[in-house]
Structure 1
Amino acid sequence: MTAFPNLFSHFRIGSLNIRNRIVMSPMETHLCNAEGFVTKELINYYRERALGGAGYITVENTAVDPAGRVNDGMMCIYNDTFIPELKNLVDAVHAVEGKIVLQLSHAGREALPYFTGTGTVAPSAIPSPLTKEMPKELTIDEIKAIINAFACGAERALKAGFDGVEIHMAHGYLVNQFFSAESNTRTDDYGGDTSRRARFGREIVEEIRKKVPADYPVICRISADEYTETGLKLEESKEIAKILERAGASAIHVSACNYASAFFNIPCYYLEEGCFIHLAEGIKAIVNMPVLSVGRIQDPAMAEEVLKENKADLIVLGRSLIADPCWPNKVKEGNLDDIQVCLSCNRCIESISDKKLICTVNPYIGKDERFHLQQTTKPKKVLIVGGGPAGMSAAITLAGRGHDVSLWEKSGELGGNLRYASMPPKKEPVKKYLRYITKQVEKNNIPVALNKEANEDNIKQFAADVVVLAMGAKDVPVEINGMQENGALTVKQAFSSPDTIGNNVAIIGGAAEGCELADFLSSRGKKVSVIEMRRVLGLGLVAHPRFHVCERLRKQRATLIVNAKVTEIGSDYIVISRRRQPDEKIEGFDTIVIPTLHQHNTELEPMLQSFVPEVYTIGDAKEGRTALEAIAEGVEIGLKI
């Protein structure tokens, strides 16, 4: 019996019979082709998540109008030519006993005119907070045409075999723009009070109802709170929800935010898990239709509690199912240690801006090798040198395919740079992932030798068929006048010994690791100054966490200096140089932290090639890597050997 009886109970929305309460969120993938047609990669992606046990899949926002495409990665359903490929997607999901719902969308003023070739439209001529483009105010006839486009989109979804549709009425897209007084200042029947601003969304539901069976699921996704000063708040969204219910909506999916509050829209690790649950709870209290809750719900126990306390009827997972499509099955079977943890780093969100979806911890997006790893017919003795993310992911993949794998790590613990990445505040997801991946090394019975540094002699004695060098980069301190004689620390040294650091700290270099170290030390009561030679702090982080870490540093009253280069380090001072300004000496520091360059570490490879049949260098040892690149490279070599 499952430990989560509510989460794995059956549920129904109209004609849609759902095997559990887990719904996959509609998240853009850019896996369709440039014209918006379904591809094999897209089918693989959704099929794997259906196989993974989700109650139903919600396919990403799909354009009902070519002028409403937000970019060339947005799927389309604006004419009948899209139906055959959409049917292939539906059939693939149904073939593995999955259920699938299509989200219908129009971006309104958030569409990109350089891509669509037409100007943007909106309820009112108010610029997009993101693109700053001035949209054209829709006429009544144009409004009616878009309402009809949504209805025709739903009819096509029905013909393609989808089990239901979801109307995208959230996140600053066109329907949300009509709902909100912040973006809708019309004075006709589609603007004014809440009821009139809700008319556009209401009429979309009513028109869809005319084209689909009475019990066909029509789900509405709303932003119950836009998290802006003049935008929608929960109380007004309750009114809108009741209007949509009376119009014929089957269920309501409660999200939050718009483009002006985008740093909160897809909550990264700086925001609390379950941060939008209270909004779903508020809507559920006043409607009789099912309510879906979303917003960084990663812990199965939290999902179970939401259902048990009747705060929502269904739990929507987005990035957790990108990271691990089998999250539902693993939870149901009690294999919680085997869940590949989402880092909430939002690399996935960054990736779809101009290319296909990728994930830091899951390099198999759009492929299906993950769940059907081919066993090797020629097992080899493989030595992995280095227990960081590249080395561990290579070891796990190789062992999973049947190779005889051993792993050596020169330090006393596994993890490499992930250990330091897990130390700053709010980085619990990285800690969880580190526990996960080390557990997988253990579960695959991979012998691990800690405190063992590899050299030519002991590798020769080991007599491996294959050696994978993943021992990380050489960290070389950036040369600054006075750094050696005045005892400057590196970032890793500062992370490793925070209690020995003085109270007034200068951190030279305000990229990702510098800002995270500053947050780490500030949270311990240190007075921190960050000096960055570029004009932006936190480079190397995705925009969402970069915004939040900078806000945290400001609230902690850290001194943040940009466009400044440190030219000299003294015993308790630094000298900074700014363009067109005289040099400035800043005194009173107890500790000064300097950045390091991550240089390749490939010296062993040519030595080994004379007696090891196959030698590969991966990860930071080959070239500076992000965690995403290191994990992917480890898996890639694991599939190759």
Structure 2
Amino acid sequence: MTIFPKLFSPFKIGSLAIKNRMVMSPMETHLCDKEGFVTEEIIAYYKERILGGVGYITLENTAVEPAGRVNDGMLCIHNDKFIPGLKRLTDSLHTIDGKIVIQLSHAGKEALPYFTNLEPVAPSAIPSPLTKQMPRELSAAEVRSMVNTFAEAAARAVKAGFDGVEIHMAHGYLVNQFLSPESNIRTDDYGGDTHRRSRFAKEIVKSIRKCVPGDYPIICRISADEYTDTGLKLEESKEIAKVLERAGASAIHVSACNYASAFYNIPCYYLEEGCFIHLAESIKSVVKIPVLAVGRIIDPAMAENTLQENKADLIVFGRTLIADPHLPNKVREGQMADIRTCLSCNRCIESISDKRLVCTVNPYLGKEGVSHLQKTARPKKILVVGGGPAGLSAAHLLSTRGHDVTLWEKESQLGGSFRYASMAPKKDPMRKFLDYLINQVKKTDTAVHLNREATEMSIKQFAADAVVLAHGASNIPVEINGTKNNGVLNVKQAFSTAHSLGNTIAIVGGGPEGCELADFLASQGKKITLIEMRRVLGLELVAHPRYHIGERLKKMGAQLHLNTKVTEVGQNYIIISRRRESDQKLEGFDTIIIPTLHQPNNTLAASLQGSVQEVYTIGDAVGGRTALEAVAEGVEIGMKL
């Protein structure tokens, strides 16, 4: 018997019968072609998630008309010519007993005119909070026509074989813009009080209901709270949910936020797990139709409790299924240690603007049709030097593929610099991912040796067929007058000796390392001064965590000096310089910390040339790497050899 009985119990939404209560959230992939047609890559991507055991998939937001596309990575269903490709997708999933619902979407004023070559439209002429573009207000006749546009898209969805439709009424897109008092100031029948602002959404549901089979699922995704001063609040959204239920909605998918509150919309690791469950619970209290909960739900126990406590009927998993498409099967089979943990780092969200979905922990993303675990025909004796994310990823895959792998790590623990990054507050997912990498290596025949530093001599004596150098960057101290003789620490030393640093601390360098160390120390009650030469803290972080760590430091009283240069360091003081201002002396510090520069570490590789047949350098040893790049390079070399 499964330890999560409710989560793995069957359920129905109208005619949609599913084997468990786990739903995949609609998330853009950029795996379609530029015209919005289905590709083989996108079919393979969703097929992998069905094979992974999810109850049903919600296909990413799909445009109901050209003016509603956000970018050229958005699927389309505004013309019959898209039906054959979509039918290939649904047929492929149905042959493996999969279920798939399509999300119908129009971006409204959030559509980008430089991409669509069309004027953005909205209920009212109020600029987008993100793009600042001024949309054109739709006439009443155009609103009624838009209702038909959604209905026609739903009819195409039926022809394409989808098991249901979800109408995107959330996140600041067109239907949400009509629902919200923040973006709808119309004075006709489509604006005003709650019921008039709900009219557009209600008419869409009714119109779709007329052109689909009687019990065909129509799911409405709403932002129950927009988390802005003048936007939708929960009490009004409860009334909207009742309107949608009376109109013929089959279920309500409860999300939150709009573009103005985007830093909360896709909750990163600084926000609590399950942060929107309370919204689903409140909506469920006023409707009889099923309710779906979403919002950084990572822990299966939290999902089970949400169902057991009747706060929702289904649980929507998003980035967790990007990170590990087989999470449902692993949970069902009790293989919790084998789950590739989502970091909630939002690299996936950032990557959409770069035209390709990527994931820090899942380097196989978008390559689902490629067999990466194929056994090697020529097993080799391979030495991996370094037990950080790059080295661990390489060692695991190389050993899994049949090579004889040995890993040397100079420290007493595996993890490399990632271990220190995971010590900062709210970094539990990173610690879990590091545990996952270590556990995966332990499950192989890899021989792991700790406290073993690699030298030219020891590597040559080992006589490997191939050597993979993942031994980290060359950490170069920043050259500032006075740093050599005044007990300045680096980030690694500071994390390791936090108890003895004193109470008043200066950190010179507000990149990701400096910010996370400041957060770590400030959370212990220490008084922090953080100095950064650039105008923005944590510039290399994704926008969501960058915003939240700045807010956290401010709330804890950290003194933040941006656009500021440190010109001198003394025993307990620093001198800072700003343009057009006199130099200033800040003093009274118990400890001064300066992050090192991460430079390529190629000395060892150069010494092995000519004596070792194959030498490969990956991760920080090549240069400063993000965890995403380190893991990906480890897997890449694992597939290559």
TM-score normalised to the size of structure 2?
0.99
Equivalent position SS for 2:253: strand
* Residue 451 (structure 1) aligns with: 451
Q: How far off is 1:606 after superposition?
A: 2.9
1: distance between equivalents of 2:456 and 2:181? 70
Partner in structure 2 of residue 356 of structure 1: 356
Match for 1:117: what amino acid? N
Q: Given residue 99 of structure 1, which amino acid in structure 2 is its aligned partner?
A: K
Partner of 2:516: 516
Aligned match of 1:549: 549
Aligned mates of 1:397, 1:159 — CA distance in 2: 42
- Structure 2 residue 220 is matched with structure 1 residue 243: no
Contact 1:7 1:303 in 2 (8 A): yes
User: Which stretch of the first structure deviates more once superposed, 6-15 or 457-466?
Assistant: 457-466
1:158–1:212 Cα contact (<8 Å) kept: yes
Contact 1:565 1:576 in 2 (8 A): yes
Distance 1:8 1:43 in 2: 25
Partner of 1:333: 333
Asked whether the equivalents of residues 41 and 369 of structure 2 are also in contact (C-alpha less than 8 Å), the reply is no
Question: Hey, what does 1:296 align to over in structure 2?
Answer: 296
- Alpha-carbon distance in 1 for matches of 2:622, 2:571: 36
Contact 1:338 1:440 in 2 (8 A): yes
Query: Partners in 1 of 2:74 and 2:134 — Cα distance?
Result: 22
TM superposition shift of 1:607: 2.6
1:401 maps to 401
The residue aligned with 1:31 is 31
Counterpart of 1:29, as a letter, is T
Q: SS state of the match for residue 362, structure 1?
A: coil
1:72 corresponds to:
72
For residue 36 of structure 1, report the CA deviation from its aligned partner: 0.9
Contact (CA 8 Å) 2:8, 2:20: kept in 1 or not? yes
In structure 1, the residue corresponding to 2:104 is in which secondary structure?
A: strand
Q: Is the 8 A contact 1:227 1:257 kept in 2?
A: yes
Code of the residue aligned with 1:593 in structure 2: it is I
Distance, in Å, in 1 between the alignment partners of 2:31 and 2:580 is: 48
C-alpha contact (below 8 Å) 1:65/1:146 kept by paired residues: no
Residue correspondence of structure 1 range 307-346 to structure 2 within 5 A: 307-346=307-346
* 2:89 counterpart letter in structure 1: L
After TM superposition, give the deviation of residue 612 of structure 1 in Å.
Answer: 2.3
Structure 1 position 479 matched with structure 2 position 484:
no
Map of 1:158-307 to 2, 5 A cutoff? Answer: 158-307=158-307
Deviation for aligned residue 1:502? 1.7
1:559 — aligned with what? 559
Matched-pair contact (CA < 8 Å) for 2:372–2:639: no
| Deviation, structure 1 residue 610 | 2.2
SS at match of 2:33: coil
User: Secondary structure of the equivalent of 2:560?
Assistant: strand
Residue 407 of structure 2 aligns to a residue whose secondary structure is strand
Gaps of 5+ in 1: none
Paired residue for 1:464? 464
Amino acid at match of 1:563: N
Q: Which residue is 1:7 aligned to?
A: 7
SS of residue paired to 2:373: coil
Matches within 5 A, 1:424-443: 424-443=424-443
Evaluate the alpha carbon distance shift between residue 358 and residue 455 of structure 1 in structure 2; reply closer, same or farther with a 3 A threshold. Answer: same
Q: Per-residue deviation at 1:595? A: 2.2
1:289: Cα distance to partner?
Answer: 0.6
Report the CA distance between 1:371 and its aligned residue.
Answer: 6.5
8 Å CA contact 1:422, 1:431 repeated in 2? yes
* 1:8-47 C-alpha deviation (Å, 9 max, x unpaired): 0000111111010000000111111111111121111111
- Give the alignment's TM-score, normalised by structure 1: 0.99
Give the distance between the partners of 1:622 and 1:40, measured in 2 at CA: 34
Kept after mapping to 1: 8 A contact 2:330/2:338? yes
* Matched residue SS, 1:62: strand
Q: Is the Cα–Cα contact under 8 Å of residues 170 and 176 in structure 2 kept in the other structure? A: yes
Q: Does 1:94 align with 2:94?
A: yes
Secondary structure, aligned partner of 1:489? coil
Alignment match, 2:502: 502
2:434 alignment partner AA:
L
Q: Does 1:120 find its partner at 2:130?
A: no
Query: Structure 1 residue 372: deviation in Å?
Result: 5.8
Deviations 1:417-454 (A, max 9, x none): 11111111111111111111111111113210000011
The corresponding residue for 1:412 is 412
The equivalent of 1:141 in structure 2 is 141
Deviations 1:45-103 (A, max 9, x none): 11111110000000100000100111111111110111111111112212222111110
1:287-323 CA-to-partner distances (Å, cap 9, x unmatched) read: 1111000001100100000111111010000000000
Contact 1:469/1:616, CA 8 A, preserved across alignment: yes
Structure 1 residues 521-557: Cα deviation after superposition (integer angstroms, max 9, x where no partner): 1011111011001001111111100111000000011
Which stretch of the first structure deviates more once superposed, 107-116 or 458-467? 458-467
**Segment of structure 1 superposing worse, 597-606 or 170-179:** 597-606
Q: CA deviation at 1:139?
A: 0.3
Distance 1:114 1:136, change over 3 A: same
Q: Distance in 2 between matches of 1:353 and 1:174?
A: 21
TM-fit CA distance, 1:455 = 1.3
Task: Verify the 8 A CA contact 1:29 1:352 in the aligned structure 2.
Answer: yes
Give 1:369 deviation, angstroms.
5.8
What is the identity, as a one-letter code, of the residue corresponding to 1:34? K
User: How many angstroms apart in 2 are the aligned matches of 1:496 and 1:415?
Assistant: 14
How much has 1:403 moved relative to structure 2? 1.3
Letter in 2 for 1:309: E
* 2:169 partner amino acid: M
Contact 1:469–1:621 at 8 Å: present in 2 too? yes
Moved more, 627-636 or 570-579: 570-579
State the alpha-carbon separation in 2 of the partners of residues 369 and 122 from structure 1.
40
Letter in 2 for 1:337: A
Q: Are the equivalent residues in 2 in contact too, given 1:43–1:366 (CA < 8 A)?
A: no
Does residue 624 of the first structure (1) align with residue 616 of the second (2)? Answer: no
Q: Is the 8 A contact 2:535 2:562 kept in 1?
A: yes
Partner Cα distance (2:485, 2:624) in 1:
28
| Distance in structure 1 (CA, Å) of the matches to 2:377 and 2:631 | 25
Tell me by how many angstroms 1:354 deviates. 2.9
Q: Is the 8 A contact 2:44 2:369 kept in 1?
A: no
- The separation in 2 between residues aligned to 1:487 and 1:379, in whole angstroms, is 49
CA contact (8 A) 2:41 2:368 kept: no
Q: CA deviation at 1:370?
A: 7.0
Q: Does the CA-based 8 Å contact 1:32-1:74 persist in structure 2?
A: yes
RMSD, aligned CA? 1.0
Cα displacement (A) at 1:461: 2.1
- Shift in Å, 1:520: 0.6
Provide the residue aligned with 1:375 in structure 2: 375
Counterpart Cα distance in 2 of 1:369 and 1:481: 55
Mapped contact 2:400–2:444 kept (Cα < 8 A): yes
Verify the 8 A CA contact 2:293 2:312 in the aligned structure 1. Answer: yes
